Amino acid sequence: MPPPCWAPPTGFITPSPARPFFMTEPCDMSALEAAKAISDGHLTSEALVRSCLSRIETREPEVDAWSALDADAALAEARLRDASPTAGPLHGVPVGVKDVIDTAGLTTSYGSPIYDGHHPFADASCVALLRAAGMVVLGKTVTTEFANRHPGRTRNPHNPAHTPGGSSSGSAAAVACGMVPLGIGTQTGGSVIRPSAFCGVVGFKPTYGRVPRTGLKFLSESLDTIGVMARTVPDAAAFAAILEGTAVAALPELQGPPRIGVCRSPAWAEIERDGEAALRDASARFREAGAIISEVNLPRTFDDAPAAQMAIMAYEGARELAAEREQNWDQLSPALRQSIVEGLGISRERYDKARSTQAACRSSLSDAFGRIDVIVTPAAPGEAPLGVGSTGSASFNRIWTLIGAPCVTVPGLSGKRGLPIGTQFVGLPGQAAYTLACAHWAHGVLTR
Amino acid sequence: MPPPCWAPPTGFITPSPARPFFMTEPCDMSALEAAKAISDGHLTSEALVRSCLSRIETREPEVDAWSALDADAALAEARLRDASPTAGPLHGVPVGVKDVIDTAGLTTSYGSPIYDGHHPFADASCVALLRAAGMVVLGKTVTTEFANRHPGRTRNPHNPAHTPGGSSSGSAAAVACGMVPLGIGTQTGGSVIRPSAFCGVVGFKPTYGRVPRTGLKFLSESLDTIGVMARTVPDAAAFAAILEGTAVAALPELQGPPRIGVCRSPAWAEIERDGEAALRDASARFREAGAIISEVNLPRTFDDAPAAQMAIMAYEGARELAAEREQNWDQLSPALRQSIVEGLGISRERYDKARSTQAACRSSLSDAFGRIDVIVTPAAPGEAPLGVGSTGSASFNRIWTLIGAPCVTVPGLSGKRGLPIGTQFVGLPGQAAYTLACAHWAHGVLTR
C-alpha cells in the first residue's frame, strides 16, 4: 500500500539536514489526510495554514519558492473556510499557484519584470474552481520567465546548490519541503513532471485540454497544460479533478499489477547513469511486485516528435508573446529573446508539418498500447543538475506533452548525490484515471 | 472579377436611406485599397481615421456598434503610422476590435457589467500583431455578453429594427456601414459568419488554432476562434494573416471555376424560404459561371455534430467562466445563467463523447471532399430576424466550428425584406487559403 502521507522514502533518499521532516506538523500531512482531519474537527484550515506559514518562515530564505504571499489574506480565507460548510473533499486545504496563473487578490507577474506589481482583475478559472471547492490560495509560486527557460530564483529544497527544475519551480519546491501540500504547475515541454521529479514529489500533467485555461498566460496554446504537484497520487488526482471542474472520484481499482511497457523514448541518448539505474531498479521492483514488464518501441512517427514539439513551442511562443515582443523587448531575458527569434524564423509550412506530426503521433500511440496498460519512462535524465542557471532538460517530457498524454511522476528513488529521481508513467490521452491508478500502485511499490 | 472595393451589390440589395453609400469617402474604401493609397501618398492614415470617425458620428446613434472609442488616441496612433515607414500591407488601416479581446489603452468589458471600466494590462496578441503591422485600433466593438447569447445594443445598419447577428455584432455592423474597413470577431458557434451574413459583409473564420488567443476572454477553448470582418475577400485574407502572425500572401490562383459541393447540412429543417431561394440562386449563378455543382451529403458522423458542439460549448463555458459564476452570479444575464446551469448538468462522459464526435467528424470530412473543392452552404437560415432580443440561429455554423474548418461568407444576395443573405464557403481544416480563393471567385460572380 502507498504511504498515507508523504514520508521520506527511507533507503532511497538520505534525509539531509536541509530537509528536516517534522512528520507531526499539519503542513506535512497529505492533502486528503488534512482535509479529513478538518472535516472531522481535529484540525482547522487556519491551523493548517499557520503550520504552512511557519514552515515557509523556516525554509523560504534558502528555497525561495514564493513570488507573492499575503499571510493575512490566506489566514482570513482559511477562517472563512472554517466557518463554512464543507464544499469539497479538499475543503480547507491551502495551495500554491504558479505565477503564470491569474489571482485577483495577489500580484501576478508571470516571472517577468514587465508585470511587476500586476494585479489581474479576476481569478483564473482554475483558481476560482479551487476556491469554490473550499480550498485556500496560500500564495503565488515562482515560475521561470513566462514559463519558458529563464530561471526564477528558487532552489532545490534537497540541496540549494541544485536547480529545483522548471518552469513550475516554486510549486514543486514548496510541496517538497512541506510549505504547502498542493501546488499548481503548467507544462509546455516538461514543466510539471521535471521539477516534481527533481524535488521528489508527485507531479501530474492531465490530458491536454482538461483544466480550463482562462487566466493562464499562454506560452504555446497547443501544448500548455495545467497540472498539479502533490505528495501522494490520490492527492494529485483529487486536486486535478477540482481544477477540471469535475467530481472527485476514487482512483479506479486495478485488476492486478499492471502490464508495464518500459520506454526509453527518442531522448535516450541524454540519459545519465543515475537515471538509467533508477529505471532499471524501478522495473525490477515492479516485476517483483507482480507487474508484467516489456519493452515498448514507439511508432516511427515519434522520431520527429521532439523536433515537432520544439517547433510548435517556439512558433507559437513568438506569437502568444506578441505584446511583450513588440512593446517590452528590452525587458525580456536573452534566453527568451533567442526563443522568440527562433520562433519567428520557423516557416508556416514547418509549423503546419509539426502540427501534422503531433496529430500522427497522437493517433499512433494506441498501437503501442496493445499489450501494455501504461508506459514507464524516465521523468528526467537523472538527478537535478548542479547550479541554478538552468532548470534542466525537458527531453524526456516533450514528446508526451506534444501528444497531450496524461503523465504522472512518482518519487521513491534517488541518485548518487542523494537527490530524488522520478519515475514517469504515461497513459493514452483521456485515460488519466487509469494512469494515475498505475502510478499510485507504483508509488506504493517504490516506497514500500 | 470581384469588385475592387465594396460596392452596394446592385440588383440584390435595395439601397435604403438608412445605408447611404458615399463611395468617395475614404472610409468606404477596401482595406487594401486604402493601404495602397496611404502607401502611394494619396491618403494619410489620419485622414482615413477622420473619415471613419465622421461616419461613426453619423451612423452610431442608430447602429450603436462601439463599446469604447477614443478618437484622440486613434488619431494619435494614425499620425504615428503616417510618420513611420510602412510596416505591412495594411499599414495605416484602422480596425474595430470585438470587446472580448484585450486592449491595453481601451476599456475591455467582455459585454458584461462585471467588467465595466476594466483596463487590461496588455494588448491581446492579435492586437499587438496588428499594431506591429502598422494598423490602428479605432475602438472596441459591441459583443454579446462574454460572446454568448445575451445581446448587446447594436442594431442592423440595413434596418435598425433587425438584429445585426452576434456575438460579434459591433464589428459586423461597423464594417457594413463604413465606420471602419475591418473588424475582429470571434466564433464559438456562428459568431463571425452569422453577423457578417446579416450585415452584408465578408466574414472569415480561419482554421481553428491559427490566430493566437492570448488576451481573448474564453467561452469554450475547444471552439473559440478569432476571425475577421471585411468588405472584400482579399481584405479578409490579408488581415487574418496579420492576426496569425504570418506573411501576407496573394490568394492562390484557381485553375478554373471550382467544383462546388452544395451542402444542406443537418440544420436544413431550419432553412427559411429566403435562405433556400438564395442558395438555389447562388448555385445557379456559380454553375452559369462555369463551376461544377454537386450535392454533398456529410458522413453519418455529422448527425451528432450539432448536439456535440452544443454540449462542448455549454460544458466548457460553465468552467471557463468559473470566476464569474462563483463571484458575480447576480451580474450574469438569465440567458447566461441558464447556459451555465446546462453546462454544469452535462456529465464528463457526455463531454468526452462530444469531443470524440468532434474528432471523428474532423477526420471524416475529407471523405466528402473527394470530388469537390469547397462546400457551399447557407450562412444562416435567412435574413436577419426582426427584433434585437436574439441574434439569430447558429445552426448553419456550429458544425463547421466544431471541426475547426475555415469558413467564409460573402454577401451579394438578399431576401424579401431587402436585407443581405450570405453565402458560406467551407473548406478542409488547414486549407483556408484555397477556401478564400473560391469565396473570392464566388463574391465576384454574385456581385457581377
Taking CA–CA distances from A346, the nearest residue in chain B reads: B246
Nearest CA in chain A to B124: A323
CATH for A184: 3.90.1300.10
The DSSP letter of residue B118 is -
Answer yes or no: is B329 within a domain.
Answer: no
Tell me which residue in B127, B215, B323 faces A125 most closely, judged by beta carbons.
B323
Across the interface, whether the CB atoms of A246 and B348 are under 8 A apart is answered yes
Catalytic positions of A, written as ranges: 98, 167, 191
- Cβ partners under 8 Å of residue B97, min gap 6: B103, B127, B137, B139, B140, B141, B171, B183, B184
- A chain contacts of residue B125, beta-carbon cutoff 8 Å: 319-323
Cβ-based burial of A255 (10 A; exposed 0-12, middle 13-18, buried ≥19): exposed
Other C-beta atoms closer than 10 Å to the C-beta of A345 total 11
Q: Verify whether residue B191 is a known catalytic residue.
A: yes
Q: Which amino acid is at B282?
A: A
Is the separation of the CB atoms in A97 and A127 below 8 Å?
yes
Please report the pLDDT score of residue A368 as a whole number.
87
Say what the pLDDT of residue A37 is: 97
Per CB distance under 8 Å, which residues of B are interface residues toward A?
104, 115, 118, 120-129, 131-132, 209, 212-215, 217-218, 221-222, 244-247, 316, 318-327, 348, 352, 355, 430
- How large is the angle between the packed helices A45-63 and A71-82, nearest 10 degrees? 160
Rounded to whole angstroms, how far apart are CA atoms B161 and B141?
19
**B35 part of a folded domain:** yes
Q: Which of B98, B140, B205, B217 is catalytic?
A: B98
Parallel, antiparallel or unpaired: strands B292-296 and A66-69: unpaired
Residues of B in contact with A348 (CB under 8 A): 246-247
- Beta-carbon separation of A127 and B319 below 8 A: no
pLDDT in tens, chain A (448 residues): 333 333 333 333 333 344 344 457 999 999 999 999 999 999 999 999 999 999 999 999 999 999 999 999 999 999 999 999 999 999 999 999 999 999 998 999 999 999 999 999 999 999 999 999 999 999 999 999 999 999 999 999 999 999 999 999 999 999 999 999 999 999 999 999 999 999 999 999 999 999 999 999 999 999 999 999 999 999 999 999 999 999 999 999 999 999 999 999 999 999 999 999 999 999 999 999 999 999 999 999 999 999 999 999 999 999 999 999 999 999 999 999 999 999 999 999 999 999 999 999 999 999 889 899 999 999 999 999 999 999 999 999 999 999 999 999 999 999 999 999 999 999 999 999 999 999 999 999 999 8
pLDDT given for residue B367 in this prediction: 87
Tens digit of pLDDT for each residue in B127-161? Answer: 999 999 999 999 999 999 999 999 999 999 999 99
Instruction: Give phi and psi for B11, each to the nearest 5.
Output: 95, -20
Chain A interface disruption, residue of B116, B312, B319, B428, most A CBs within 10 A: B319
Question: Is A33 contained in some domain?
Answer: yes
Among B109, B191, B222, B333, the active-site one is B191
Q: Using the beta-carbon criterion (under 8 Å), do B131 and A326 form an inter-chain contact?
A: yes
Is there a domain that residue A299 lies in? no
Report the pLDDT value the prediction gives residue B3, as an integer from 0 to 100. Answer: 35
A335 inside domain: no
CA nearest neighbour of B426 among B238, B267, B204, B220 = B204
Task: Answer yes or no: are the C-beta atoms of A173 and A155 closer than 8 Å.
Answer: yes
- Collapsing DSSP to helix, strand or coil, A183 comes out as strand
- Interval B342-385: pLDDT, tens: 999 999 999 999 999 999 999 999 988 989 999 999 999 999 99
Answer whether B209 sits within 8 Å of A218, measured CB to CB.
Answer: no
| Residue A293 β-bridge partners | A260
**Residue A323 is nearest to which of B123, B246, B319, comparing CB atoms?**
B123
Range of the domain at A216: 26-259+386-392
Cα distances (Å, whole numbers) of residue A443 to A66, A202, A280, A432: 28, 9, 15, 16
Q: What is the pLDDT of residue B243?
A: 98
Q: Is B167 a catalytic residue?
A: yes
Pair B218, B324: CB distance under 8 Å:
no
**Would you list which residues of chain A are within 8 Å, Cβ to Cβ, of chain B?**
104, 115, 118, 120-129, 131-132, 209, 212-215, 217-218, 221-222, 244-247, 316, 318-327, 348, 352, 355, 430
Task: Report the alpha-carbon angle B219-B225-B226, nearest 5.
Answer: 110
Establish whether this prediction's ipTM goes over 0.90: yes
Using CA coordinates, name the residue in chain B closest to A126: B322
* Of A120, A247, A326, Cβ closest to residue B128: A326
Please say whether the beta carbons of B65 and B141 come within 8 A: yes
Residues of chain B with pLDDT under 50: 1-22
A129: chain B residues, CB-CB within 8 Å: 319, 322, 326
| B194 assigned to some structural domain | yes
Measure in Å the smallest separation between the Cα of B130 and chain A Cα atoms.
10
Number of structural domains found in chain B? 1
Strands of the sheet with A136-141, listed across from one edge: A66-69, A136-141, A94-98, A182-187, A225-230, A202-205, A407-414, A420-426, A374-378, A259-263, A292-296
Residues of chain A found within 8 Å of residue B362, distances taken between Cβ atoms: none
Count of positions (residues) in chain B: 448
**Residues A33 and A235: beta-carbon distance below 8 Å:** no
Q: Tally the residues of chain A.
A: 448
Q: Is residue B154 in some structural domain?
A: yes
Domain assignment present for residue A233? The answer is yes
Residue B405's closest CA among B422, B426, B433? B426
